[in-house]
Structures are given as C-alpha cells and as structure tokens.
Amino acid sequence: MNDLFSSASESAREEVSRLKATLTRANIDYYQNSSPTISDQEYDRLMRRLQDIEKQYPELLTPDSPTQRVGSDLSSTSSASKQQRKAFQQIAHRYPMLSLGNTYSEQEIEDWLRHLPAGVEIVAELKFDGLSISLWYEHGRLTHALTRGDGVRGDDVLRNIQTIGSIPQVVSAELPDSFELRGEVLLPWEAFERLNKEREDNEEPLFANPRNAASGTLKLLDSKEVERRGLICYLYYLLGEDLPFDTHYERLEAVKQWGFPVSDAIKLCHSINEVMDFIAYWDTERKNLPVATDGIVLKVNNIHQQEELGYTAKSPRWAIAYKFPAEKQKTRLTSISYQVGRTGVVTPVANLEPVQLSGTQVSRATLHNEDFIRSMRIKEGDMVWVEKGGEIIPKITGKAAEADDDSTDYDYRFTPVCPECNTPLVRVEGEAAWRCPNRKGCPPQLQGKIIHFVSRKAMNIDGLGDETIAMLFGEGLIKTPADLYSLSHADLASQERLGSKSAQNILVSIEASKSVPWARVLFALGIRMVGETTARKIARRFPSVEALQWATREQLTDVEDVGEQIADNIIAFFNDTDNLQEIIKLKNAGLQMQVSEDRQASSSDLLQGQTIVISGVFSRHSRDEYKALIEANGGKNTGSISKKTSFVLAGENMGPEKRKKAESLGIRLVGEDEFLGMINE
C-alpha cells in the first residue's frame, strides 16, 4: 500500500467515523424518537457520501455501517419506555423488511430504467410518507402487525392496527392460506393539524409532520387514543408462497378486490416517457391529496424478474424511490429575532409573512448564525425563499430574484446583547456562534441546566417537561437543580395544569432520583463536554465527587476519552464556588455523590484491556446494563467487530453480518451465562 493511499485512507477513515455517527443519531431520532433532526435530503446526501467513500476504500466498509442496515424502530431500544418494551412483542420478519434506494434526480431514474432488462414493465406508485407495516394473515384472519423494526424483527402492534377500520380483521374471500401484506400507516393532514392544535393548547411539543405523528401514535399503549387520532393505511405489496399471478400489478388489483385499502394512484408503465409523465403529474397533484407524500416508487412488475435482480444489503435492486424536490415558497422576511439556548448560544430566527408549505403554515425559520445571514446578504424586508427540507424544518434558502442583491452598503449587525438578560454577547475565536456569558443569571441557560438535569439519561425525573420547568422557574420556585428537592406538594399542586395527582407523581419521581448512581449524577451536573459515556468512565476512575474535585489535570487526562479541554472544563467547574455550593445542596438532599458499596464490590479489573462487542437479545440484563457491567469491570465497549475485538457478547438473534465477521476473524462468541461467570456475577 503506497503512502498516497494510506494518507487518503486515514482522511477517509475520520470522515467515515463522523458520517456513521451523524447517520446513526439521525436514524435514532427518526425511527425511535419520531422527532427527526435533519431533512430527508440532507440525510440522503450524507448517506450517498458515506457510500462513495466505502466504495473507494472497501476496508472501511463494516457490517454495522448505516449503508448496510435499515434504521430501527424497535421498542427494546433505550429510547422506549419499560411499558412499551413489555407491551409490544418482537417477532422476526418472514422476509427481510428492507428500505428503498432513492434519488432526487430524474436523470438517475432514467439511468436506472435503462439498466433493467429490455422490455421490462414498471409499476409506478405514490410514495406515502408514513410508517411501514407488515400484516400477517392466516386462514383469512389478521394475526400479526409488525413495524419495520430493524428489518429483521419488528414490534407487533396488532391491537393498535385493529383500530384502523379500513384494515379487515377477517377476510371471507377465497385467499391463500397464509400471506403477508405490506403498506404504510398514515395520519391525514386534517387529523394531524387537529392533533397538533390539541398539543399546542396543552403546551405539549408539536409533531414536526404527519409521519412522526403516525409513528408516535402507533406505539401508544392506549388503543382508544390510537383510534381517536384517526390513522389510515394504504397497502402496496403482497408476499407469500404459491400466490396467484406472476406480476406485482395483478397482485395489487387482487388485493384491492379482496377488500383491502390500496391506493388508486398506481400506473403500469411500458416506457421511460410514461414513468416521467407519472412523476410530473403527481409532483403537482399530490398537493391536493389528504395525506402526506414525498415521492414516487418504481417497481419491476414481473415477480420472477424481481427475484433475478435480487437485493443489496439494505434494499431491493428491482425498486427505487424518486423523492420530490423540497417544496419552496417566496415570502417576506418581516423581522429577525433572537433565541437563547441552554448553553448560551444565541440563534437568529426569521419571522416571515405566513406561507403554506407541505400542508402547514410557516411563519418562522432558523437563520443559523451571523455568518449564514451575511453569506446570503439577508436583511429585514427582503423577499426570501423558504422551504421545508424533507417536509420537516422550515429554512431560508436564499433571497428572491427581485431582492437588492447588488447593494454595496449591506451591513447586517448581529444583536450585541443577550435578548433575555441584556448581557453583552461574546464570540469565541474559531466559532460561528455568539454566546451569552451570563451563565448564572440568564433565564434560558438556568432553565436549560434544570432541563438537562431531569432528562432521562441524567436524573430521569418524570413529569417535569420544558413548560413545567419554565412555569416553576417563572414562579421563583426553582432557580437551580437543587431547588427541585425542596419542592412541596402545595408548590406543585397550586400550579395551573398540574393538580394534586400530577404533583404527587412528580414528587415520587424526584424522590426516586436520589437512587440514581454517581455516574449519571455526574452527567446531570452538566459539565461542558462531559457526555453520558465520558461521565461513566470518569466516575469509575474517581468514585466520589470529592475524588473528582481534587483531581489534577494529569490524572484526568489519564482517563480514556478525556482530553485536555475536558480536563480543563472539569477543573473550572470545581473552581466555581457556586457550583460547589450546589453540590453541597444536592449531597444534603440525598443524591448519590459516590459509587455505592454494592457497585464498588461489583467493580473489578477482570475485563481490563479487553474490547467487547455486544450483539443480540438478552434475558438476564438489558444491553445498556451489560455495557455498564463491562465498564465496571474494566472492559471497553465498541460497536463494530475488528481484529482488536477480544470477544463478542452474543445473545439470541445475533446479527448475521456480525456473526459472519466474527467467524472470519476468529473472534470468540461468549454467551450470556458464560459472560456473567467471567465477572463472577
């Protein structure tokens, strides 16, 4: 391997690591949290970039890459509640439930079509923007309804699917003994707007779009609430053995005749021109539909040709999705206001003359930072283009043509002071953001510390959402996290929208937080750059707050993943007398400021120097608990198998690609019981 290739590979390795982390986080936000943080188009751009690098450097392609697997919505993930994990049984798909390859380019659609066998027929369908579902029928009766899950297994949401009136529970027609139907669960625009209005009235977070609302609804534990919200479904694929007809189009027609909901927006195409006409028609007409759509799906019609074309690791070669370009509208930027985040970053916001985009009215959009505004030479009063990337987050994409782009006296000035506390802003060299330095007196920052403190991965205090914290803060009942432990039932019950029962539930959760282990308390303190994983590693090296308080810079940087900047942030935190007083209050309230004797007794160096990969489903502990046990015994968790892997902690349904990779490298598979024996548990 020559030096040029090595240099390029090292650069590519770093970019691949960043892309994997970004795409994995985006998958979690989209599939598990029903709260996407980037647009579909940005996600697809990053995915395409990752695919290109992996193609150029095959040694960087790993089985756990987002290019090799679909996003997972399984309720066994850490984002799901314990009730959800119990409520939804996980079942293996009979056939892998893959995602579709997609493009935003009509030229790429033409290229895909030209590479198919001569004379092939194509079925063009609308791509509905909802949640994928797999319906199993046995002897004419609906027996299971599985979400996509991770493509291999899905959550059985049968009782919630049974609330959708258009899906037959029993079919009387002459049908195959066993078959599967796949489709999309949707929340119509009208129901979506009604639901968001209810949430707005209750000061609950709004759903970004109907897809997220449908996803969140389908995982609710209350089937009556699911039914009230008004989900619908369109089915688009029939699977099974010995099925009638050898073409996809005929099968869909049969499914429709059997009484199932199938969209009428389907066309059997015999040429590229017919496909392009279908795309052009629905690019406009879809705006009149009662449900959200985001593109067109093209499928090879002949089932035997589908089988011959086969699959990639995560998508069929016989189908592709064309995504419609993001819808954009022209409107006037009436003013620019500023918002302060919990870390002090001040973000400019465009206030717009209201405009309809993707079925909703948009009147605000982010402007990111000063550099973004200056690069577009935007000012108040300009006509601008606004779009919803992937129908999620409104954003300004540029000035309209008639705007005064040639002006030479453009001189936009970012607000010089914090809009909340009037403190002069500062801008750190090398950063694009302006920050408010008033960490101890700026209301959004003070509230942000409390919001972080009560979050699930920190102290996990239920019932204290952003709005409730803002209300208690505004009443002067809390100023710091320690004040939570002085709240009384009367303090809470007297607040609007809480009442006696809610107050009692909050107090119970606050009391329960006193048993949260030291590592999570450390994370909850909100020391800059000390994330959840880093906090666990620090807590193992410094098993009490006193030990950490007196740690030197050299001792801190000896901890894995703790660099000089994090070490300096920790030292600065403990040099602040206000922080020390807060810690004393929290300690007096009964919080765990040191590793418990039980945990100290269970800690060891039995796994010191060993790198361990976890894969599969376990019965004795959750995956997160096993990660904690590995770290408590000196081991290191990693997500992908390599030559450096010591062994794989393998549960049931271990990923086939990981198993194959482990076997090829001679990596040992360790079962659940054997592992617990290794650490003397």
655: CATH: 3.40.50.10190
Examine the domain organization and report whether 314 and 345 are in the same domain.
no
Whether 531 is covered by a domain: the verdict is yes
Whether 598 is covered by a domain: the verdict is no
Whether 75 is covered by a domain: the verdict is no
Res 294: pLDDT: 84
Examine the domain organization and report whether 133 and 281 are in the same domain.
yes
Boundary-marking domain end, from 370, 394, 427: 427
pLDDT in tens, 313-347: 778 899 999 988 777 788 999 999 999 987 788 98
Q: Whole domain around residue 472: which residue ranges?
A: 443-586
Whether the per-residue pLDDT at 100 is higher than 70: the answer is yes
> By the 8 A CB rule, do 320 and 135 touch?
no
192: CATH: 3.30.470.30
Residue 96's beta-bridge partner residues? none
Examine the domain organization and report whether 279 and 346 are in the same domain.
no
Whether 432 is covered by a domain: the verdict is no
The first and second tokens of residue 164, run together, are: 């959708």
In terms of DSSP H, where are the helices of 233-381?
A: 248-257, 272-285, 303-309, 370-376
Q: Edge-to-edge strand order for the sheet containing 232-239?
A: 141-147, 131-138, 178-186, 232-239
pLDDT in tens, 593-640: 998 665 555 567 788 888 899 988 787 787 777 887 888 788 888 777
Q: How many domains does the chain have?
A: 5
pLDDT in tens, 255-274: 999 989 999 999 999 999 99
Mean pLDDT of 558-585: 91
CB atoms within 10 A of CB 584: 13
pLDDT in tens, 486-533: 999 999 999 887 889 999 999 999 999 999 999 999 999 999 888 887
The first and second tokens of residue 379, run together, are: 């000012």
Examine the domain organization and report whether 369 and 509 are in the same domain.
no
Whether the per-residue pLDDT at 351 is higher than 90: the answer is yes
Confidence category of residue 478, pLDDT binned at 50, 70, 90: very high
Listed in sequence order, the residues at least 6 apart from 595 whose beta carbon sits closer than 8 Å to its beta carbon are 517, 518, 539, 540, 543, 544, 603
Examine the domain organization and report whether 402 and 342 are in the same domain.
yes
Greater pLDDT, 18 or 39: 18
Res 4: pLDDT: 36
Confidence category of residue 63, pLDDT binned at 50, 70, 90: low
Res 512: pLDDT: 93
Whether 147 is covered by a domain: the verdict is yes
Examine the domain organization and report whether 638 and 666 are in the same domain.
yes
Examine the domain organization and report whether 574 and 616 are in the same domain.
no
Confidence category of residue 79, pLDDT binned at 50, 70, 90: very low
Res 1: pLDDT: 37
Note if 501 is an active site residue.
no
Whether 243 is covered by a domain: the verdict is yes
CB atoms within 10 A of CB 561: 10
Examine the domain organization and report whether 212 and 283 are in the same domain.
yes
Whether the per-residue pLDDT at 94 is higher than 60: the answer is yes
Examine the domain organization and report whether 21 and 43 are in the same domain.
yes
> By the 8 A CB rule, do 283 and 90 touch?
no
Greater pLDDT, 352 or 204: 352
Whether 528 is covered by a domain: the verdict is yes
Examine the domain organization and report whether 245 and 122 are in the same domain.
yes
Mean pLDDT of 186-196: 87
Angle, CA 288 vertex, CA 287 and CA 294 arms, to 5° = 35
Boundary-marking domain end, from 323, 340, 374: 323
Examine the domain organization and report whether 228 and 300 are in the same domain.
yes
Greater pLDDT, 72 or 564: 564
Among candidate residues 20, 127, 627, 661, the one labeled active-site is 127
**pTM (two decimals):** 0.49
Distance CA 210, CA 189 (A): 7
22: CATH: 1.10.287.610
